[in-house]
Amino acid sequence: MPLPEMRSASMEFLLDFLTRFAAQLQSPTLGFLIGGAVLAALGSRLEVPDAIYKFIVFMLLMKIGLKGGMKIREADLDDMLLPALFAVLIGVIIVLLGRYTLAIFRQPDLREFTLSPISAPGADWCGEKPSRFHSAPHRVLQ
C-alpha cells in the first residue's frame, strides 16, 4: 500500500473513531457515569434514595443487556471471535500485571498487628506480652 493511501486510510479510521467517540459522549448513560465520577472526585456527599438507586441500576442493566443482546443477535460469530479472544487475553494480562506489580507495593501483613492499644492486652493470652508498638506474635492470630 503506497504511503498516501495508507495516510488516507489511517485518517479515515481516526475520523471515524472520533465521530463515534463524540456520539458516545452524548449518551445519557455515559453522562451519568462521568458525572458520578466527577462528583466522587470532588468529594460530594450526594446521596440518592435507595429506591431510586435500585430503579436506576435496574434500568441501566436492562438497557445494557437488551442492547448487547440485540447486537449479538445481529452479529456474525466469525466477526465476534477475534475481538472476544483479544478481550479475554487483555483481561488475563491485566490480572497478571496487577498481581505482580501490586505485589511490589504490598502492604505488610496486618494480621501481625493488633488494632488498638485497647485490644493489645488481650493478645497476651498465649503467654507473651505485646511490644510497645502493640504487635502481637504471629502464632496468636494465625
Dist CA 115 CA 135 (whole Å): 9
Give the pLDDT score at 62: 94
Give the pLDDT score at 91: 95
Neighbours of 36 (CB within 10 A): 13
Q: Mark the ranges of the chain whose per-residue pLDDT is less than 50.
A: 123-125, 134, 136-142
What pTM did the predictor assign?
0.37
Give the pLDDT score at 98: 87
Residues 6+ apart with CB under 8 A from 139: 126
